[in-house]
Amino acid sequence: MTSFIDIFHTYGWKDIQHSIATKTHADVERALYASHRTLEDFKALISPAALPYLETMAQMSQQLTQKRFGKTIQLFAPMYLSNECNNICTYCGFSFDNRVKRKTLTESEIRQEIDVILNNGFKHILLVTGESDAHVNIDYFKKAIAAIKQSFANISIEFQPLSTAEYQTLHDAGVHSVLVYQETYHQDVYKTYHPKGRKSNFNYRLETPDRIGQAGMHKIGLGVLLGLEDWRTESFFCALHLDYLQRTYWQTKYSISFPRMRPAEGIIEPNVIVTDHDLVQMICAYRLFCEDVELSISTRESEKLRNNIIPLGITSMSAGSKTNPGGYAVEPTSLEQFEISDERSSKEIAALIARSGYEPLWKDWDLSFAR
């Protein structure tokens, strides 16, 4: 069976980087006024040549987003199940070489955590783990999902890459979406960020969305870790991936997240700085390229950015998040993946959304569709 790898390997990082850098104002204008935008148009929109057009892009992004999604922002909460991890990732607080006490939630601890999350108003939940087969494997996932299924309308997961059969099992168990970020599409340097563990296999990770698509999941979430490599080139490859997946797994929805590197225990400094300006350009470019892709912003981002980003094209936000297992109730001081920036509660974020003229959406799915 063909996969994204076949397409990916026909492109070179340096060629793409050069092609983006040499886009002109004329290319940007052609992209802005095209009735259907191509990957070449996307390159123009993320290029330095697009900088003078950012306000125009933002206005077009707002219009397209409202047409498709309305004036609504979906809210979700992450729940970290475990910080056990056998991978070394130089940017992650859960990295195996980070010699700190680890924690995996038991079923009763999961129940304590979800009580708090439900009390915060959430009906959509994102379950997160590190990668450790001994502690968090398919049996653990099935039990965890069974424990929370009655309480939530929509369950997303961000676990280690799994097999197609395992994704099918989780889909049948009630999982709606799977998030898997490539971290970087720059294959030459991938291994320096992921020197040890199963995650160091670039191709296996790159093929993961194919396996999720084959398993029939409702939604696949893509993204790159912003701060590792040139974000413009990364964005092109992520858009290429999205374009391939949409054509291949046409019944699946897609989302893109924008994780920007945040301080965490024992990690490296960002290699490149992605500014707020860059992030806004990225969001608008993705929206202009793909009207229907969901765009998500987490509590990694500052209050200032989150206050202003709502009408620019994003469709979902997390709020009041904890990035450590047990963070909501059981063990507030366990090892966290990264420090959050926006510490406001879910109610404060809902009020912010309403003040911006948008409706906070707590529920936009029903598990009855998953039967």
Partner 1 sequence: MQPLSIAGKEFHSRLFLGTGKFGSLTQMRDAVLASGSELVTVALKRMDLETDTDGMVVSLQHPGINLLPNTSGARNAKEAVFAAQLAREALETNWLKLEIHPDPKYLLPDARETLKATEELAKLGFVVLPYIHADPVLCKQLEDAGTAAVMPLGSPIGSNKGLKTADFLEIIIEQSKVPVVIDAGIGTPSHAAAAMEMGADAVLVNTAIAVAGDPVAMARAFSLSVEAGRIAYEAKLATPIKHAVASSPLTAFLHD
Least gap, CB of 362 to partner 1 (angstroms):
8
CB 288 within 8 A of CB 32: yes
β-strands 219-223, 253-257: how paired? parallel
Nearer residue to partner 1 within complex by CB, 69 or 193: 69
Q: Give min distance, CB of 365 to partner 1, in A.
A: 5
Alpha helices in the chain (DSSP H): 4-8, 13-21, 25-33, 39-45, 54-69, 107-119, 138-148, 164-173, 187-193, 202-206, 208-214, 231-248, 276-289, 303-309, 346-355
CB of 154 to partner 1, least distance (A): 9
Q: Residue 29 or 348: which CB sits closer to partner 1?
A: 348
Q: Rounded to the nearest 10 degrees, how much is the dihedral formed by the CA atoms of 43, 45, 46, 50? A: 130
Which amino acid type is present at position 33? Y
The nearest distance, CB 313 to partner 1, in angstroms, is: 14
Residue nearer to partner 1 on the CB measure, 15 or 292: 292
- Is the Cβ of residue 148 or residue 340 nearer to partner 1 in the bound state? 148
Residues that bind partner 1 (CB under 8 A): 66-72, 123, 153, 246, 250-253, 292, 354, 357-359, 361-366, 368-369, 371
- Exposed, middle or buried: residue 299 (CB in 10 Å: 0-12, 13-18, 19+)? buried
Nearest CB to partner 1, comparing residues 10 and 251: 251
Q: How far apart are CA 74 and CA 315, in angstroms?
A: 6
Q: Name the minimum Å distance from CB 138 to partner 1.
A: 25
Nearer residue to partner 1 within complex by CB, 32 or 153: 153
Shortest distance, CB of residue 329 to partner 1, whole angstroms?
Answer: 22
CB of 3 to partner 1, least distance (A): 21
Burial of residue 71 (CB within 10 Å: 0-12, 13-18, 19+) is: middle
Q: How far is the CB of 205 from partner 1 (least distance, A)?
A: 24
Residue (141 or 254) nearer to partner 1, CB: 254
For 254, list phi and psi in degrees, rounded to 5: -135, 150
Q: Based on CB atoms, which residue is closest to partner 1, 195 or 311? A: 311
Give the Cβ contact number of residue 343 at 10 Å. Answer: 12
How far lies 329's CA from each of 24, 67, 100, 108, 258, in Å?
53, 39, 20, 12, 27
Phi, psi of 218 (to 5 degrees): -75, -30
| Lookup result for tokens 């936000």 | 317
Name, in order, each residue with C-beta under 8 angstroms of 267's C-beta and a sequence gap of 6 or more: 90, 91, 92, 93, 95, 261
